[in-house]
Structure 1
Amino acid sequence: MKIFDTKNIREADKITISNQGITSVQLMERASFEVFLWLKKHFADKETTFHIFCGQGNNGGDGLVVARLLKEDNYPVVVDIVQGAGKPTPEFDVALALIKQTGLECNTEEDYEFEKGKLIYIDAIFGIGINRELSADVKEVIDRINQHNGQVISIDAPSGLFMDKPTEVAVESDVVLTFHFPKLAFYLPGNNDFVNKIEILDIGLDKEFVSGLSSYYHLVNTKYACRHYRPVKPHAHKGTQGHALIVGGSHGKIGAVCLAAKAALKSGCGLVTAYLPECGYNIIQTSLPEAMALTDGDRHITKISFDLQPKAIGIGPGLGQHPETQQAFYELLKASTIPLVIDADALNILSYNKEWLSLLPQHSVLTPHPKELERLVGKWQDDFDRLEKIKQFSKTYNVIIVAKDSHTMVCNGSEIYINSTGNAALATGGTGDTLTGIITGLLAQGYPSADAAIFGVYLHGLTADIAVSETGHQAFTASDVINYTGKAYLKIEKEKAKF
């Protein structure tokens, strides 16, 4: 799913109004009706009070239409029009006139009352068009919303959230009901406090115009992931499913290479060989009998030499940073002719020896967490600067960057793919090792590097989404990524059949 900037979204609105022969007010009614339907579905109890805060622009108009629809459906509704939140637009004025016909009074005093009890706050103060700093009065209203315990639902965007620059103050939304397109700002780490759950509502914008728009940003949803999925062919055997080599492990960190190797197998790879120090031999052979093992060194790897011809190599989990290990990695970089998947200590070794970056095989996949990324690309000023640094690094070295975070982003040159799966259950040691194994396994099966990264990240996150209802967030471990990979594949296959 493409992610567009504010300019393109406004243009899509205009084209839709023109091509469908409707007015801007009718488009507002259509969008607001979708919000109303979502609210009615999720809050069927007619004793639920909706406290709606409206600005005086078009987003406030959306809020007024929603308030009118809720009132007509016999929900208790309180409406506050926030002073200083924009100048009344024609669409807002129409919505205000219509709501007055229902007999619902709108509070326009600055001392906004906050209801108690079964309460849902609806935030319709500002939409995606905000481009100036908030006034002190508006900040005070937003602060009061954030301090109350009721569930907060924002229409189109959390009020105060900038689409193209860092945000300091905004409504902290439990759910954002956004129109037709995902917005880049929703997925940036610096905005995590403002955006929890995102629901994208189809409001019937002109399909031909939207499909013709280009974008460098994409949300990897179910449909997008299914397009990248390659089912196993009926006559496949272990020789056709690829051979992955997982290099890693050191004394005390053998578990990391075990996790990566098992995840590679679970991804569908036909053969997996683990390359690790001698101290890990019995561990890998006992814990993972399906994998083969090659060893070097006693407590750490001293050289990387093999007669195999793997289709993909993953390196880094538990590797350590011993000088002999660093030299072994350097020799592998010089000799390798196939893309590598590079993680953990291998990334740190690269960050200490940046002259080695030019040796990276084209289309290698690097999977840094935030601190590893910073060591590679340098410090960034904000999330937007971070994206530019990632894109520049990817283009300079012709590699794929998997920037791990709450919304992991895969960068392939100028293109950014934002993952939509995963949750806080993945915030536990070893899940990065399983991701390395999954991506390496997919590469070995013949997925192109970018596809292996995009689909691998989606599959990895999906395991946690499926598992969390059974394990909870706290009890989920990296091994559960492996244990639930099969269920994740089954769900993808079921969804793919729909498209």
Structure 2
Amino acid sequence: MKIFETINIREADKITIENQQISYYQLMERAATEAFLWIKKHYADKETTFHVFCGRGNNGGDGLVIARLLHQDNYPVKINIIEEAGNPTPEYETALQLLKESGLENNKDADYTYEKRKLIYIDALFGVGLNRDLPQSVADTINKINRCEGSVISIDVPSGLFLDRPTDFAVESDIVLTFQFPKLAFYLPGNCKFVNRIVILDIGLDKGFIKNTPSDYSLTDLKDACARYRPVKPHAHKGTQGHALIIGGSYGKIGAVCLSAKAALKSGCGLVTAYIPKCGYEIMQSYFPEAMALTNGQEHLTNINFDVQPKAIGIGPGIGQEPETQQAIHDFLQRQNTPLVIDADALNILSQNKEWLTLLPENTILTPHPKELERLMGSWDNDFDKLDKIKAFSAKYKVVLVAKDAHTMVVYGNDVHINSTGNAALATGGSGDCLTGIITGLLAQGYNAVDAALFGVYLHGLTADIALPETGMQAFTASDIIKYIGRAYLKIEADCNQK
């Protein structure tokens, strides 16, 4: 799903109005109706009071329409119009007149007693067009919303959130009902406190415009995952499903390479070989009997040399940073042209020897967490600066960079793909090792580097989404990722068949 900048969103509105021969107000009514229908579906109790905060621009107009529809459907509704929040537009004025005709009035001083799930605040102060600092009265209103005990629903964008630069202060939304397109700012780490849950509402914008307008940013959703998914062919056997080699492990860190190797096989490849130090041999054979094992060194790898011919290699989980291991990795990279995934301490070793980055085969996949990413490419001023540096790094070394975070981003040159699956349960030791194995296993099956990274991240996140109702957030472990890969595949297959 494409992620557009504000200028493209406004152009989509304009083209839609022209091609569908409707007015701007009719488009506003359509969008607000979709938001109302979502709210009605999820808050069916007619004793629920909605306190709607409206600006005076088009986002405020959306709020007025939602308030009128709620009122007409017999919900208790209170309106608070903030005069300093924007300038009236013709569409806002139309919405205001219809609101008054429905019998609702502005109740700017109203306050309500909180009762669980019986008071919902709707934020419709500012939308995608905000480009200036907030007036004090608007800031005071946002502070009031943020201190409230009820749930907060923002319409299109949490008010105060800038789409193209860092934000220090905005409505802290429980749910954002955003129109047609995801917005890049929603997925940036610095904005996590403003955006909890994102719901994308289809408001029928022009499909031709959406299809033909390019964007460097996209959200990896089910449709994108289905387009990249490669089902197992009926005549497949272990030789056709690919051979993955996982290189890693050191004394005390054999678990990492065990998780990675098992995740590779569970991703669907036919064979997995683990290249590990001798101290991990019995552990690997006991934990994961399906794996073949090659050994080198006693407590850490001192040389990387093998006679198997894998289709893809993952290196780094638990490998350590011993000088001999570092030299072994350098020598390995010098003669390497097999599709490659690099993670964990192998990334830290590259960070200490940045000249080795030029040895990486084109389309090598790097999977750093935030601190490893900072070691690789240096610090950044904010999330937007970080994105610019990631794209420059990817383009310079011709690598696919998987920037792990709450919303993991897969970057190849200027193309940025934001993952839509996963939750905080994945914030557990070994989660990244499993991701390395999954992506390596997909590469071994014949996925190209970008598809392996995108689909692997999506699959990895989906395991946590499926497991959460059964394990809870706190009890989820990296082993559960492996446990739920099969369930994740079944869900993808079922959902893809329905589309």
Superposed counterparts of 1:91-102, under 5 Å: 91-102=91-102
Confirm or deny that 1:66 pairs with 2:66. Answer: yes
Equivalent pair of 1:175/1:195 in contact (CA under 8 Å): yes
Partner AA of 1:149 in structure 2: E
* Structure-1 residue corresponding to 2:444: 444
SS in 2 for 1:56: coil
* Structure-2 residue corresponding to 1:44: 44
* Structure-2 residue corresponding to 1:460: 460
Partner AA of 2:250 in structure 1: S
Aligned counterparts of 2:363 and 2:391: Cα–Cα separation in 1? 14
* Structure-2 residue corresponding to 1:314: 314
Equivalent pair of 1:251/1:299 in contact (CA under 8 Å): yes
Aligned counterparts of 1:54 and 1:382: Cα–Cα separation in 2? 30
Partner AA of 2:182 in structure 1: P
SS in 1 for 2:297: coil
* Structure-1 residue corresponding to 2:172: 172
* Structure-2 residue corresponding to 1:23: 23
Q: Which runs of 5+ in 1 are unaligned?
A: none
SS in 1 for 2:293: strand
Equivalent pair of 1:51/1:115 in contact (CA under 8 Å): no
Superposed counterparts of 1:208-247, under 5 Å: 208-247=208-247
Cα gap change, 1:57 to 1:470, in 2 (>3 Å): same
SS in 1 for 2:170: coil
Aligned counterparts of 2:489 and 2:211: Cα–Cα separation in 1? 29
Structure 1 residue 96, shift from structure 2 partner: 0.7
* Structure-1 residue corresponding to 2:487: 487
Equivalent pair of 2:425/2:474 in contact (CA under 8 Å): yes
Aligned counterparts of 2:150 and 2:353: Cα–Cα separation in 1? 51
Give deviations 1:141-194, integer Å, cap 9, x for gaps.
Answer: 111111112110000000000000000000001110000001101001110000
Structure 1 residue 83, shift from structure 2 partner: 2.5
Equivalent pair of 2:78/2:110 in contact (CA under 8 Å): no
Confirm or deny that 1:2 pairs with 2:2. Answer: yes
* Structure-2 residue corresponding to 1:192: 192
SS in 1 for 2:498: coil
* Structure-1 residue corresponding to 2:271: 271
Aligned counterparts of 1:163 and 1:384: Cα–Cα separation in 2? 10
SS in 2 for 1:80: strand
Aligned counterparts of 1:407 and 1:11: Cα–Cα separation in 2? 27
Structure 1 residue 114, shift from structure 2 partner: 4.8
Partner AA of 1:169 in structure 2: F
Give deviations 1:377-399, integer Å, cap 9, x for gaps.
Answer: 11111111100100011110000
* Structure-2 residue corresponding to 1:158: 158
Equivalent pair of 2:59/2:126 in contact (CA under 8 Å): yes
* Structure-1 residue corresponding to 2:89: 89
* Structure-2 residue corresponding to 1:413: 413
Equivalent pair of 2:47/2:76 in contact (CA under 8 Å): yes
Cα gap change, 1:215 to 1:16, in 2 (>3 Å): same
Structure 1 residue 338, shift from structure 2 partner: 1.5
* Structure-2 residue corresponding to 1:123: 123
Partner AA of 2:120 in structure 1: I
Q: Which runs of 4+ in 1 moved over 4 A?
A: none
Partner AA of 1:47 in structure 2: E
- Say what the alpha-carbon RMSD is for the aligned residues: 0.8
Give deviations 1:65-113, integer Å, cap 9, x for gaps.
Answer: 00000000000001000131111111111111110011111134xx563
Structure 1 residue 115, shift from structure 2 partner: 4.5
SS in 1 for 2:389: helix
Aligned counterparts of 1:116 and 1:290: Cα–Cα separation in 2? 57
SS in 2 for 1:122: strand
Equivalent pair of 2:420/2:458 in contact (CA under 8 Å): yes
More divergent stretch after superposition (207-216 vs 448-457):
207-216
Aligned residue pairs total: 497
Equivalent pair of 2:243/2:271 in contact (CA under 8 Å): yes
Aligned counterparts of 1:127 and 1:260: Cα–Cα separation in 2? 43
Equivalent pair of 2:114/2:149 in contact (CA under 8 Å): no
Structure 1 residue 339, shift from structure 2 partner: 2.3
Aligned counterparts of 1:337 and 1:253: Cα–Cα separation in 2? 27
SS in 2 for 1:497: helix
Aligned counterparts of 1:352 and 1:339: Cα–Cα separation in 2? 23
Aligned counterparts of 2:69 and 2:236: Cα–Cα separation in 1? 56
Aligned counterparts of 1:461 and 1:352: Cα–Cα separation in 2? 30
Equivalent pair of 1:46/1:75 in contact (CA under 8 Å): yes
* Structure-1 residue corresponding to 2:376: 376
Structure 1 residue 116, shift from structure 2 partner: 2.4
Q: TM-score, normalised by structure 1?
A: 0.99
Partner AA of 2:7 in structure 1: K
Equivalent pair of 2:245/2:274 in contact (CA under 8 Å): yes
Superposed counterparts of 1:291-330, under 5 Å: 291-330=291-330
Partner AA of 1:175 in structure 2: I
Aligned counterparts of 2:180 and 2:392: Cα–Cα separation in 1? 30
Aligned counterparts of 2:398 and 2:33: Cα–Cα separation in 1? 46
SS in 2 for 1:123: strand
More divergent stretch after superposition (143-152 vs 396-405):
143-152
Structure 1 residue 404, shift from structure 2 partner: 0.2
Give deviations 1:245-275, integer Å, cap 9, x for gaps.
Answer: 0000000000000000000000001000000
Aligned counterparts of 1:220 and 1:112: Cα–Cα separation in 2? 42
Aligned counterparts of 1:149 and 1:430: Cα–Cα separation in 2? 37
Structure 1 residue 487, shift from structure 2 partner: 0.3
Give deviations 1:272-295, integer Å, cap 9, x for gaps.
Answer: 000010000000000000000000
More divergent stretch after superposition (94-103 vs 112-121):
112-121
Aligned counterparts of 1:203 and 1:289: Cα–Cα separation in 2? 52
* Structure-2 residue corresponding to 1:113: 111
* Structure-2 residue corresponding to 1:55: 55
Equivalent pair of 2:333/2:360 in contact (CA under 8 Å): yes
Give deviations 1:320-342, integer Å, cap 9, x for gaps.
Answer: 00000000000110010122100
Aligned counterparts of 1:216 and 1:104: Cα–Cα separation in 2? 44
Give deviations 1:443-463, integer Å, cap 9, x for gaps.
Answer: 000000010000000000000
Aligned counterparts of 1:466 and 1:116: Cα–Cα separation in 2? 33
